[in-house]
Amino acid sequence: MNPLIPLFVAVPLAGAFLIMILGRFIPFLNRYLAAAVLLFLAFISFWSLLTEGADASVYRVGGWEPVNGVPIGIYMVHDSFSALVLCIISLIGLLSVIYSMSYMAGYTSGDYFYALFCLMTAGMNGVVLSGDIFNIFVFLEISAISSYALVAFGVGKNELEATLKYQVMGAIASFLILFAIGFIYWKAKTLNIADIRVAYEEGHDRSYYLLVQLMLLTGFGVKAAVIPFHAWLPDAHSSAPSPISAMLSGVLIKAVGIYVIIRLFFNMFEITEGISVLITTLGAVSMVVGTFLAIGQWDIKRLLAYSSISQMGYVVMAVGIGMILTARGVKSDVAALAITGGIFHMLNHAAFKGLLFLNAGAIEYSVGTRDLRQMGGLAETMPVTSATSFIGSLSISGIPPFNGFFSKLIIIVAAVMGHFYLLAVLAALVSIITLAYFMKFQRYAFYDRQPGKTVQKIKKVPAPMLFSMIVLALVCLLLSLLALPSLRDAILTPAADLLIDQMKYSSQITGM
């Protein structure tokens, strides 16, 4: 049992509590305490990733042992897949907090901001670590409610309208998820993911569980903003303060959306070809439609928001390809490669999309606008922002030697090896279109200098904001190293193997 596991939730919850109490008496404590919390989480996240083996570590809350092999307590499970997601939550969270020290100086109620930030982090960590589906829902709501408040933090008209749309869509999704959980408990008589899997194996009604799967896919599809459940995302991500946009797009839609879909459909349900084809189709449609919605945007943050839909489409499509091959019982090596590519791209997206949202925030902070048509020539006055955004743009566009190239290449190669030729062609074409609209971003923001186009007064970007952008740019370069076979086999392959071997997760928890 790993004693660090409950700290992923307990420390940010305690941090939120202390910020609200001590922040009233000690000015500026809130930002430093939040940074300390995220720094600690980053340390234990990477420590656990590097020291834990391929086997899962289980923490039984309250010390409740299984009774006759049936898990009766709350289980928190740390394995090779959850470890990767915890790392991106803590890293992007830490850099976003550092960035916000200057960015949020113009906002009031700093205590509320950093307390909500810690609560959102605790909720995401809880979702990733929960071994039972009801507590996934509980932590999902903690992170969701915190994010609703953070999206509306500017309390302007656009922010309030965006968060209302976000809340309505989120409430519908939560209702579907809770309803599905009730259906599962009614039939399986358990809420533990591993135990549900065992109950599912022993005897089940396929049509009944198909309904449950569709409800869960819809609910978590809204959280992940896959098309056609994406309507809330462009407004929410563009209206939120930029460090929150980086968290929402870089982390939240993965932790409470993509991650849960992958976890449940691999480790809780039997993989069927019908559901696998549906998931692959949703991914492919999101990948294509998202990029065409992004290309016509002039608001930087809306462009980035629609781009997130497209890039998450790559992840969902790659995982779907792996599911189809697994369901057919063929080409397990290709299935593992596709899932590895999807996980790799999920990590890469957290880095380059987090970086690009921080770049957008730096531009808005300095220039006072997000409209590309009102910018130009910023490369001279904002060289660090220009250089780091160029790295982020090439990374997301899949240009070597940046990280996005290698994950997209793995996905395309897996699609070709699995005979999904149309999906391979679509993935390549979408990458080219992505390059087109990010070159538009670069041209109009940094290089297209015309008289009367650039805003007269440009504020200097503070050091904490520059620090976060530089670190994430370096991360985009370093993540390329995961393409090396030795590092890929050490970090990415165990997560893919855990998903491919469907009973491995259950057996490590139930011992059966």
Helix 259-267 crosses helix 193-202 at what angle (to 10 degrees)? Answer: 40
Q: What is the pLDDT of residues 123-135, one digit of tens each?
A: 999 999 988 899 9
Please tell me the least confidently modeled range out of 68-77, 234-243, 340-349, 449-458.
449-458
Specify the pLDDT at position 512: 52
For residue 240, report the phi and psi dihedrals to the nearest 5 degrees: -70, 155
Q: Could you give the angle at the alpha carbon of 492 between the alpha carbons of 490 and 498, nearest 5°?
A: 100
Structure tokens at 450: 């015309």
CA atoms within 13 A on the CB side of 60: 12
Residue 377's nearest CA partner among 438, 445, 440, 439 is 445
Rounded Cα distance, 450 and 467, in Å: 30
DSSP calls for 255-274: IIIIHHHHHHHHHTS---HH
Q: Is 67 left (phi over 0), alpha (psi -120 to 50) or beta?
A: beta
Rounded Cα distance, 382 and 401, in Å: 24
> DSSP state, 134?
H
Does residue 202 surpass a pLDDT of 70? Answer: no
Q: What is the pLDDT of residues 494-510, one digit of tens each?
A: 888 888 876 777 766 76
Identify whether the C-beta of residue 304 lies closer than 8 Å to the C-beta of residue 349.
no
Rounded Cα distance, 284 and 118, in Å: 34
SS3 465: helix
Please tell me the least confidently modeled range out of 156-165, 208-217, 360-369.
156-165
Q: What is the mean pLDDT of the chain?
A: 87
CB atoms within 10 A of CB 4: 17
Q: What is the pLDDT of residues 465-496, one digit of tens each?
A: 999 999 999 999 999 999 888 888 888 888 88
Q: What is the pLDDT of residues 373-406, one digit of tens each?
A: 888 788 888 889 999 999 999 999 989 888 989 9
With residue 75 as reference, give the H or E element that holds it: strand 74-78
381-385 contacts, C-beta under 8 A, 24 or more apart: 381/458, 382/446, 382/458, 382/461, 384/461, 384/466, 384/469, 384/470, 385/359, 385/461, 385/466, 385/469
Q: What is the pLDDT of residues 419-453, one digit of tens each?
A: 999 999 999 999 999 999 899 998 888 887 665 55
Rounded Cα distance, 129 and 127, in Å: 6
